[in-house]
Chain A
Amino acid sequence: MSEETSRRRFLTGAVAGGLAAAGAGSAGAQDKGKAATAIKSNPKNQPPNVPSWSKVLGDGVATHPYGKPSKFERHVVRRDVEWLTASRESSVNFTPLHELDGIITPNGLCFERHHGGAAEINPLDHRLLVHGLVDKPLMFTMDDLKRFPRVNRIYFLECAANSGMEWRGAQLNGCQFTHGMVHNVMYTGVLLRDVLREAGLKPNARWLQVEGADSAGMNRSLPIEKALADCILAFKMNGEALRTEQGYPLRLVVPGWEGNIWVKWLRRIEVGDKPWLAREETSKYTDLMADGRSRRYTFIMDAKSVVTNPAPEAPLRYKGRNVLSGLAWSGRGRITRVDVTLDGGRNWREARIDGLVLDKSLTRFYVDFDWQGEELLIQSRAHDETGYVQPTKDELRKVRGVNSIYHNNGIQTWLVRSNGETENVEIG
């Protein structure tokens, strides 16, 4: 049975409840050709019957030495957009935000962005070199680094190009693709300033070059003030070792700043008196304005939010009670408030924030509402503790034009039709 056929059958079978149910998720482009059959329900396992799992033994403790999600969650995966890039080694995939809740992103679903593939590094062979304008150049093993005092911090990481395809208008019809280049995990590591102190900074130290050990040799210039303020050399995420694709065994954490500077597979820190102006801070990750000039050093990720349910991949399925859910974050500090409109901006209400509200972290919000099948135009608007209020896309375009690629933190609009189907749109 082809994927299309199975899906159609599933949808047909599910229409019984009035409004049709959405599939258990759609298979990604990369799943095509595989036997990705949609999950079907079985009345024999429903009340008043005794379901099969209540009768037979389940898996024993030795079956899954490293646990995976339930097979019924197999559609919850990172996806990519094949036409975006020339190769999959210098490319990006996206976190399925519409399938997640709370504020922590599971490690295996954190979006990937690399420029030369994910380097696979034996931690015993990995070294961090600190040199340049220091009293004594130092070479660290992973074990050396783990002997510095440790810290645990939860931070969001957003690619500067998140929502970058949307500058000219609504383009990608999915929350995963419009906003999925963000994740939020707890890092364990050591403070960069402690490691720099060990080498001893010269008085004229102003910038660091941070460099990865991958085949892109990713290098960025980091101002010394930020390096000394809150940057972390991280070796754990959500309690376990960094995943290969997130920089195992060592990555730089630069809270609130664009993801590109969070160098993965960190192998070298050179201390200097000037910035390096490498490719990823000149040709890329600079913001071309309408007048033909470009902003550089636009490190901070401004306040942003998105409704993750409903979304194009997560339509409304039921009339009556519904839960709207979303995420807000700011690279300048804490989220203080999120407003939500269901009618395209005529009227707004303050969303209910639930869970931890942390500095430079994803923050979860909800609106519990009743729906009778009327058309909705849903938007969310984040406020942060510096007083910044998330702008509309048109307000951003007015200042920046449409060619800046990066830092699109404009307000997202979802159109929900009377049948619950949801689409990425722009309104005016």
Chain B
Amino acid sequence: MSRSARTILLLAAIALSAAQSGAALAQASAKKLGLGREATAAEIAAWDIDVRPDGHGLPPGKGTVKQGEELFTALCAACHGDFGEGRDRWPVLAGGHGTLKNDRPDKTIGSFWPHQSTVFDYIKRAMPFGNAQSLSNDEIYALTAYVLHLNDVIKDANFELNDKNFLSIRMPNADGFYDDDRETAEKHFWNRKVCMKDCLKTEPKVTGRAQVLDVTPDNKTAPRVD
């Protein structure tokens, strides 16, 4: 079990009796209140749009890099740029490989996202911005293929992405994540003695000032006392 899962379990144990696991809960059917009605298969199918990294929820379908490029130019490039470079402050989708340790990292789908399922899941539920849930599954396969091609994850410009080969793709930063370790990595923030009197050897000096940057919306009109 991962460390964070252990932490969560521990927290849960404080909040409720350990016996209240999923299994125990399932058996507590005697306490049912008879509220709600059974959802139909059609209702679930219409709303169940999520896709997991293990392929759970991945719908049948297919789309090529080329088809994706056409769709992207028509539906996405206005914000994300023709090559996923991002216009104005809209998200940059491509590039940034190897920059995660840099002073200014470039977190894109190719440089940062650990799972290709997230691309599919997100496009399906939220894109295009302002016209969500308007794309067919084939269109989403094509767009996912094109965005991964922009990131050199799919190198072949004639590639067809489909539900059969979807899981064969591996994202460059797939191993770049680890579970919350604050309770060990930051253990020194707990139970420390705090100084209350004569705590500093040297005079505290101002090392940074917000007014120098002058990016606060109200900065010029904020209450001044001069």
Chain A residues near B26 (CB, 8 Å)? 135, 200-203, 205
Of listed A89, A145, A391, A403, residue having the most chain B CB within 10 A? A403
Find out whether the CB atom of A116 lies under 8 angstroms from the CB atom of B132. Answer: yes
Interface contact B218-A174, CB-CB below 8 Å:
yes
B196-226 interface code vs A (CB 8 A; 1 in, 0 out): 1111100111111111010111110111111
Cα A369 to Cα B68 with chains together (Å): 65
Cβ–Cβ contact B5 & A278, under 8 A: no
Question: B56 to chain A: which residues have CB within 8 Å?
Answer: 272, 274
Q: Which residue of B lies closest to A256 (CB)?
A: B11
Contact between chains at A277 and B49 (CB < 8 Å): no
Q: How far is the CA of A270 from the CA of B47 in the complex (A)?
A: 10
Query: Are B54 and A217 within 8 A (Cβ)?
Result: no
Interface magnitude class on chain A? 35 or more
With A and B bound together, what is the CA distance between A291 and B23 in angstroms? 40
Closest to A27 in B: B221
A370 interface residue (CB < 8 Å to B): no
Chain A residues within an 8 Å CB radius of B50: 209, 211, 219, 270, 276, 278
CA distance A425 to B100 in the complex (A): 28
CA A344 to CA B101, docked complex, whole Å: 33
Instruction: Judge whether B44 and A174 touch: CB under 8 Å.
Output: no
B216 / chain A contacts, CB cutoff of 8 Å: 81, 172-174, 177, 312
Whether B100 and A229, one on each chain, are in contact in the complex, defined by CB atoms closer than 8 angstroms, is: no
Closest to B15 in A: A229
**Are B194 and A216 in touch, CB under 8 angstroms?**
no
A296 close to chain B: CB less than 8 A: yes
Interface residues contributed by chain B, number (CB under 8 Å): 98
B176 contact set on A, CB distance < 8 A: 292-294
Q: In the assembled complex, how far is the CB of residue B133 from the closest CB belonging to chain A, in whole angstroms? A: 7
- The yes or no answer to A319 lying at the interface (CB within 8 A) is no
Within 8 Å CB of B189, what residues of A?
Answer: 302, 388-391, 395
The answer to whether A346 touches B199 (Cβ under 8 A) is yes
Q: Assess whether A217 is in contact with B126, with CB atoms less than 8 Å apart.
A: yes
Q: Which residues of B contact A173 (CB under 8 A)?
A: 210-211, 216, 219, 222
Cα distance A400–B111 in the bound complex, in angstroms: 19
How far is the CB of B148 from the nearest CB of chain A, in Å?
14
B39 interfacial by beta-carbon distance below 8 Å: yes
B206 touches A23 (CB 8 A): no
Q: How far is the CA of A282 from the CA of B119 in the complex (A)?
A: 11
Chain B hits for A217, CB < 8 A:
49, 125-126, 132-133
B74 within 8 A of A: no
Given contacts A11-B224, A86-B89, A171-B210, contact A138 B121 (CB under 8 A): no
Least CB distance, B203 to chain A, in whole angstroms: 8
The 8 A CB mask of B26-66 against A (1 = contact, 0 = none) is 10110111011111000110011110111010000000000
Most buried by A among B43, B113, B221: B221
Residues of B within 8 A of A112 (CB): none
Would you give 5 A-B contacts (Cβ < 8 Å), ordered by A? A209-B50, A225-B8, A295-B181, A419-B225, A427-B204
